[in-house]
């Protein structure tokens, strides 16, 4: 067995909008081209909801971490606790809370900081990461796990695979969704959605965009709010996406307590008032109604636009769809890659079931998720087909996956890879965004080199003329790209 002293550990808490997941990563002390070869050794789900739900009682957040922290302390050798870094990254739930109530967001983070400062690990802070960072880190994770950055050769050393194509990343969380994929440098250089990543000595140019309020949970709240807005009978509402024979009653705060739906609240809004939605299990009407969540007509050029007027180059190559994408496909008894026709037929079959039939279809039955899978399936259809422009031909290139070789596909591993790149010291992994465009930097480099060459030639010319003034002359050409 390997000597534990030759290993390093890192802990990342993925504080999502609906839950927090703790990951423990381990890598050898020796690194490959300044980036550690990282493996996931533990995944622990924190009990309760996401940290943003503790806005009114931030002092209660730390106790939710305690059970997972006990597992971690047992797994990591005690003598390495002090050198093990621990980081908390919060995503869209906290991004929304910060916009809505910055003081509450700060108090939640401060409570977390105080807790981890009392732990034996090297706490490096709790921060809210941007949607763009979340997208890029998810892309790094997916490609790292699929072996697109490194592989072991015949001599058991790590090398870069020859001619391997990177995979795009599709992440569906509770409050936001991200798309990230490699592009040519000339594509959309004037947009802030183009970023540059350097891993294992190689540079990659990515398109990445995060849609706030388009995570699964927030999108469904908006959907319910729109059903209420469009209904003439406010006391009896039907929901075509809920199963037949199912009804759910919510306080209005469930729908309108979010920044994403605040603009849709009725004039006589009272948070404690309740409303009941009765399911009709109508897949055709569900698909039609869910389309209203997107503005597909706001694009000046649909060929290079997703929705809501957001620029996007044409999708290309393979993609991995994880998190909410995977869980929804799994509920439809689908995983991996499959045709768009298969996805649609499975969606129709699932959405036509009555509430009493669903426990027979779902291996793990939880009301909150079971009632919403039909909505989620139609939502994914509109997002991928109407939004990202996947077609019947390109849809099979999307692989719905949860993990690779027991390592979860999540932004947290990419985050850890970035951090290991800076242990003990190193250059920044990600520049967000490329400003100025990358090729301008290349031109600048060529110009500097050309200037130095020119100066050197002039110097040689001057020296030569002093020695043999009439015998030598120099003809030089400077090339630039």
State the pLDDT confidence band at 477, using cuts at 50, 70 and 90. very low
The neighbouring-strand residues paired with 302 are none
Q: pLDDT-based confidence at 261, cuts 50/70/90?
A: very high
pLDDT at 429: 46
What's the pTM?
Answer: 0.85
Q: Which residues contact 195 (CB under 8 A, 6 or more apart)?
A: 132, 136, 205, 206, 208, 430, 431, 432, 433, 434
- Average pLDDT rounded to a whole number, residues 221-234: 91
The segment with the largest mean pLDDT, out of 5-14, 214-223, 466-475, is: 214-223
DSSP letters of 434-453? -SS-HHHHHHHHHHHHHHHH
Mean pLDDT, the chain, as a whole number? 85
Can you give the residue ranges of every domain in the chain? 1-128, 216-289
Percent of the chain with pLDDT over 90: 69
Q: What is the pLDDT of residues 295-336, one digit of tens each?
A: 998 788 888 899 999 999 999 999 999 999 999 999 999 999
List the catalytic residue out of 134, 220, 229, 278. Answer: 134
pLDDT, residue 452, reads 52
Structure tokens at 187: 């594509």
The alpha-helical segments, DSSP class H, found in 76-101 are 92-100
- Higher-pLDDT residue of 456 and 151 is 151
User: How much is the pLDDT for 476?
Assistant: 30
Q: Residue 151 above 90 pLDDT?
A: no
Active-site residue flag, 134: yes
Q: Tell me, what's the pLDDT at 52?
A: 97
Strand partners, 275: 250
pLDDT at residue 278 greater than cutoff 90: yes
The residues pairing with 128 across neighbouring beta strands, listed in sequence order, are 90
Sheet holding 247-251, edge to edge: 237-239, 274-279, 247-251
In this predicted structure, the answer to whether residue 481 has a pLDDT above a threshold of 70 is no
1-128 folds as: Nucleotidyltransferase; domain 5 (3.30.420)
Predicted confidence (pLDDT) at residue 179 exceeds the cutoff of 70 = yes
Note the pLDDT of residue 298: 77
What per-residue confidence (pLDDT) applies to 362? Answer: 92
Average pLDDT over residues 401-410: 94
Residue 320: per-residue pLDDT: 98
Pairing of strands 20-28, 7-15: antiparallel
For residue 329, the tally of other CB atoms under 10 A from its CB is 26
Helix (H, G, I), strand (E, B) or coil at 443: helix
SS (H, E, C) 222-283: HHHHHHHHHCCCCCCEEECCCCECCEEEEEHHHHHCCCCCHHHCCCCCCCCCEEEEEECCCH
Least reliable range by pLDDT among 379-383, 407-411, 423-427:
423-427
> Which pair of structure tokens corresponds to residue 142?
């997916």
260 vs 150 pLDDT, higher one: 260
Which residues are CB-neighbours of 429 under 8 A, at least 6 positions away? 35, 197, 198, 199, 417, 418, 421, 422
Q: Which CA distances in Å does 376 have to 214, 237, 327?
A: 11, 19, 10
pLDDT on residue 163: 72
Please write the tens of the pLDDT for every residue from 428-476: 445 444 333 333 333 334 344 445 555 555 455 554 544 443 333 223 3
Q: Any idea which of 9-13, 25-29, 290-294 has the lowest mean pLDDT?
A: 25-29
243 contacts 358 by C-beta, under 8 angstroms? yes
pLDDT digits (tens, 9 = 90+) for 322-377: 999 999 999 999 999 999 999 999 999 999 999 999 999 998 899 999 999 999 99
User: Which one has a higher pLDDT value, 243 or 33?
Assistant: 243
Q: Calculate the CA dihedral of residues 322, 327, 328, 332 and round it to 10 degrees.
A: 120
For residues 288 and 474, give the distance between their C-alpha atoms in angstroms, rounded to a whole number: 74
Assess whether the previous peptide bond of 424 is cis (omega < 30° from 0): yes
């Amino acid at each position: 067995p390997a000597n534990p002293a030759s290993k390093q550990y890192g802990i990342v808490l993925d504080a999502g909008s609906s839950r927090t997941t703790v990951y423990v990563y381990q890598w050898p002390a020796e690194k490959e081209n300044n980036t550690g070869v990282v493996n996931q050794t533990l995944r622990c789900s924190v009990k309760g909801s996401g940290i943003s739900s503790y806005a009114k009682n931030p002092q209660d957040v730390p106790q939710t971490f305690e059970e997972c922290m006990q597992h971690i302390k047992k797994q990591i050798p005690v003598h390495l606790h002090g050198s093990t870094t621990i980081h908390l990254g919060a995503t869209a739930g906290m991004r929304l809370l910060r916009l809505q109530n910055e003081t509450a967001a700060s108090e939640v983070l401060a409570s977390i900081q105080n807790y981890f400062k009392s732990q034996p690990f090297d706490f490096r802070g709790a921060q809210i990461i941007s949607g763009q960072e979340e997208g890029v880190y998810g892309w790094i994770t997916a490609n790292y796990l699929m072996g697109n950055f490194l592989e072991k050769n015949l001599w058991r050393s790590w090398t870069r695979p020859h001619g391997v194509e990177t995979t795009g990343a599709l992440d569906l969380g509770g409050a936001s969704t991200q798309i990230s994929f490699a592009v040519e440098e000339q594509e959309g250089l004037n947009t802030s959605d183009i970023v540059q990543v350097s891993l294992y000595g190689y540079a990659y140019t990515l398109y990445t965009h995060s849609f706030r309020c388009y995570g699964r949970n927030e999108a469904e709240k908006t959907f319910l709010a729109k059903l209420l807005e469009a209904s003439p009978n406010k006391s009896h509402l039907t929901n075509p996406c809920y199963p037949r024979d199912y009804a759910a009653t919510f306080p209005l705060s469930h729908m309108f307590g979010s920044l994403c739906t605040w603009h849709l609240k009725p004039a006589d809004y009272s948070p404690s008032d309740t409303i009941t939605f009765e399911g009709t299990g109508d897949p055709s009407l569900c698909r039609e109604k869910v389309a209203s969540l997107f503005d597909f007509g706001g694009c000046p050029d649909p060929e290079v636009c997703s929705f809501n007027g957001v620029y996007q180059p044409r999708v290309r190559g393979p993609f991995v769809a994880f998190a909410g994408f995977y869980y929804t496909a799994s509920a439809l008894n689908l995983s991996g890659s499959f045709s768009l026709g298969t996805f649609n037929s499975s969606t129709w079959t699932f959405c036509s079931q009555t509430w009493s039939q669903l426990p027979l279809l779902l291996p793990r039955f939880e009301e909150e998720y079971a009632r919403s899978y039909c909505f989620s399936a139609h939502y994914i259809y509109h997002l991928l087909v109407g939004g990202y422009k996947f077609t019947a031909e390109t849809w099979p290139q999307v692989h719905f996956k949860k993990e690779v070789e027991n390592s979860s596909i999540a932004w947290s591993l990419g985050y850890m890879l970035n951090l290991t790149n800076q242990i003990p010291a190193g250059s920044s992994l990600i520049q967000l965004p490329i400003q100025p465009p990358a090729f301008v930097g290349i031109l600048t480099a060529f110009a500097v080199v050309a200037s130095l060459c020119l100066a050197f030639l002039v110097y040689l010319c001057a020296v030569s003329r002093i020695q043999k003034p009439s015998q030598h002359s120099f003809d030089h050409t400077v090339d630039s790209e």
